[in-house]
Structure 1
Amino acid sequence: MSKDSSLTPQEVADILKIAKNTVYELIKRGDLNAYRIGRKVRIDPEDVENYKNKTKNIKTSNPSITVSNNTISSNPKPISLEDMKPNRGFVICGQDIILDILSSYLEHHPKGMPALRSYLGSYNGLFSLYQGSVQLATVHLWDGDTNKYNIPYVRRMLPGIPAIIIHLGCRMQGFYVKKGNPKGIKNWEDLKRQDISIINREKGSGTRILLDEHLRRMDIYGSSIQGYSRETLSHFAVASTVARGGADLAIGSEKIALQVQGIDFIPLQKERYELVMKKEDMEKPEFQAIIEIIRSKEFKMELEGLGGYDLDEIGQIIYET
């Protein structure tokens, strides 16, 4: 097979509808064959097809939850009553790669255990925690009335349930625009323009709620914005759409902007990414292991190696009912 027919990790990610980091994880585990040309990683199309065929026979009782050392699901399904049943194992809910690393650490901790991963957004993650179908939820939910992250939502969505919020890190959220910013986009006010089209995140994600809260404060209906109803499931997907010219603007984290060619990033808002657990679980060994891991030097150093996170407050309990 010629070199020209090979695929980049980003192209494979687009084909499989997963994040590029997940492609690297599949290669690392040996689930997907790859090779190097100089310093570049390449994958043959036939190896992508072989991987897809291998996974066609894998069945799970809940398509939005998978074991942490198996294929990562990047296409979570809407929550159903079946999904809300408890006792499905130890489940960590959220979409950031931090949680994949945390799951790996938990499995190897003396007090830990293998974890399942649910890739629901922040809003649905909190609802799942309330229903008892996940044990840990991560949130980055901004409240436009109080200008606070997470605490207002935890108080409203876990009524009568004492909870703990543990800080993981801060990330910069902003606009993805095409390289050179040909439309001259600057801030939220540009969403009022008729010549701007967007690509949106799914309902329930922290990024979607950030957008909707700003639109509410500006008294703008989403239906008035071109592309508002077009939804995708990741920062990578919206950034790639902007890079291809499929939209003028999308919202996402700065970290992803550094990994997608053909876009610029306009920083707008520093967000808090935090872990929520029920207070009654805190003394259980696996939850103690989670706290020890998050506060460990090794875990923090690994996240620093990823870049894109402000970790000054990592491990701090910032709210307790």
Structure 2
Amino acid sequence: MSSDISYTTEEIAKMLKISKLTVYDLIKKGELPSYRVGKQMRVDATDFEAYKQRAKGIKTVPQILPAAEHAQHPSTTVGNGMRPIVITGQDISLDILVKYMEKKISGIRPLREYVGSLDSLISMYRGEADIVSTHLLDGDTGEYNIPYIRKLLVGSSYMVVNLLSRNAGLYVQKGNPLGLQSWSDLSRPGLRLMNREKGSGARVLLDEQLRLHGIKQQQLNGYELEQTNHIGVAAKVASGEADAGVGIEKAAAIVGQVDFIPLIEERYDLVMLKTADNMPWIQSLLDILRSEEFRKELKAIAGYDLSRTGGILFET
């Protein structure tokens, strides 16, 4: 029976040929009713079909669920008044933050989306995300994030808050057989690179360093080869499929059998739009970031500098 079928947000995105962020935007707007199963959001097939009919301009009759069936879905978007909050980014610190938000902030339902820094800011500009994490280096100023935020969120009122700082640099094979020590070493003939996808902070970091050191992308063997996360890049280097890749220190420790050359400390910040609807939970989020309980949990993870966690770095 169709009433027994449900879809994940990934399945909805594939069927509609849209991004998962756009699916979350439909959920946020109440156009696509959803509910949570564990950490996963699901949409009933009947609600999905009703949405498609409405999108085609066909009037639909609201479905009246039997009381017993309705009780199985107590957390639907419309029924419980919970406001979905889309949080983008890939660091494990965000998963920990979501856990605290679910526990400490009432009336919201955090939704995680694993999107790179630049794409995250673009999604916020489009109104598809509420909290975006970003680590984008501006090579000309040496500043992280704010130059990009100011250009992309023109006309918006927003707040930039530090989540943490962490080391970024090069993954190299165990023992560093090629003796790679700096960004300029990427110009060596024959060096095999594993890259990140466009829009990610690591990709921007690499491109900025290539520009600053006068290295052309065409010089790098493997520049066009992409992985969608730090662990994927580190794993390719560890397996010997690449000589080097750009990423963060923590991923090297997770993968093992790969060495890490720290070259820069990057700032990992959160961006939130300052709207009337957002301000109540923004203050609660700041309280979480500044709490000893939250910081203590992050301190247990190696490689994080929490000296500025919760500090407001820029505000319009």
TMscore range, shorter length: 0.7 to 0.9
What secondary structure, in the 3-state scheme, does the structure 1 residue paired with 2:8 have? coil
Aligned length: 252
Task: Tell me how far apart the structure 2 counterparts of residues 182 and 115 of structure 1 sit (CA, whole Å).
Answer: 44
1:99 aligns with 2:68: no
Q: Report the equivalent of 1:262.
A: 257
Query: 1:238 corresponds to which letter in structure 2?
Result: V
Q: Report the equivalent of 1:319.
A: 314
Task: Tell me how far apart the structure 2 counterparts of residues 283 and 70 of structure 1 sit (CA, whole Å).
Answer: 23
Instruction: Select the residue among 130, 137, 140 that pairs with 2:135.
Output: 140
1:116 aligns with 2:65: no
1:59 aligns with 2:8: yes
Equivalent pair of 2:102/2:108 in contact (CA under 8 Å): yes
Query: 2:8 corresponds to which letter in structure 1?
Result: K
The answer for unaligned runs of 5 or more in structure 2 is 14-18, 25-35, 42-82
CA RMSD of aligned residues (A): 2.2
Q: Report the equivalent of 1:248.
A: 243
Q: Report the equivalent of 1:77.
A: none
TM-score, scaled to structure 2: 0.75
Task: Tell me how far apart the structure 1 counterparts of residues 180 and 148 of structure 2 sit (CA, whole Å).
Answer: 30
How far residue 68 of structure 1 moved from its aligned partner, in angstroms, is: 9.3
Query: 1:260 corresponds to which letter in structure 2?
Result: V
Decide whether aligned partners of structure 1 residues 265 and 92 sit closer, same or farther in structure 2, where only a CA change above 3 A counts.
same
Task: Tell me how far apart the structure 2 counterparts of residues 300 and 315 of structure 1 sit (CA, whole Å).
Answer: 10
Task: Tell me how far apart the structure 1 counterparts of residues 254 and 281 of structure 2 sit (CA, whole Å).
Answer: 34
The answer for unaligned runs of 5 or more in structure 1 is 1-55, 73-87
How far residue 194 of structure 1 moved from its aligned partner, in angstroms, is: 0.9
Q: Report the equivalent of 1:27.
A: none
Equivalent pair of 2:144/2:267 in contact (CA under 8 Å): yes
Task: Tell me how far apart the structure 2 counterparts of residues 237 and 211 of structure 1 sit (CA, whole Å).
Answer: 16
What secondary structure, in the 3-state scheme, does the structure 2 residue paired with 1:211 have? helix
Between 1:280-289 and 1:226-235, the stretch displaced more is: 280-289
- Larger Rg, first or second structure (1 or 2): 2
What secondary structure, in the 3-state scheme, does the structure 2 residue paired with 1:132 have? coil
Query: 1:114 corresponds to which letter in structure 2?
Result: R
Between 1:280-289 and 1:102-111, the stretch displaced more is: 280-289
Decide whether aligned partners of structure 1 residues 110 and 262 sit closer, same or farther in structure 2, where only a CA change above 3 A counts.
closer
Instruction: Select the residue among 146, 149, 159 that pairs with 1:154.
Output: 149
Equivalent pair of 1:170/1:270 in contact (CA under 8 Å): yes
Task: Tell me how far apart the structure 1 counterparts of residues 279 and 156 of structure 2 sit (CA, whole Å).
Answer: 17
How far residue 71 of structure 1 moved from its aligned partner, in angstroms, is: 5.0
Q: Report the equivalent of 2:274.
A: 279
Instruction: Give a deviation string over 1:278-304, Cα, whole Å, max 9, x none.
Output: 122586332222111111111100100
Q: Report the equivalent of 1:212.
A: 207
**Percent same amino acid at aligned positions?**
45
Decide whether aligned partners of structure 1 residues 69 and 174 sit closer, same or farther in structure 2, where only a CA change above 3 A counts.
farther
Equivalent pair of 1:68/1:104 in contact (CA under 8 Å): no
Task: Tell me how far apart the structure 2 counterparts of residues 224 and 92 of structure 1 sit (CA, whole Å).
Answer: 36
Between 1:102-111 and 1:120-129, the stretch displaced more is: 102-111
Decide whether aligned partners of structure 1 residues 282 and 179 sit closer, same or farther in structure 2, where only a CA change above 3 A counts.
farther
Query: 1:64 corresponds to which letter in structure 2?
Result: K
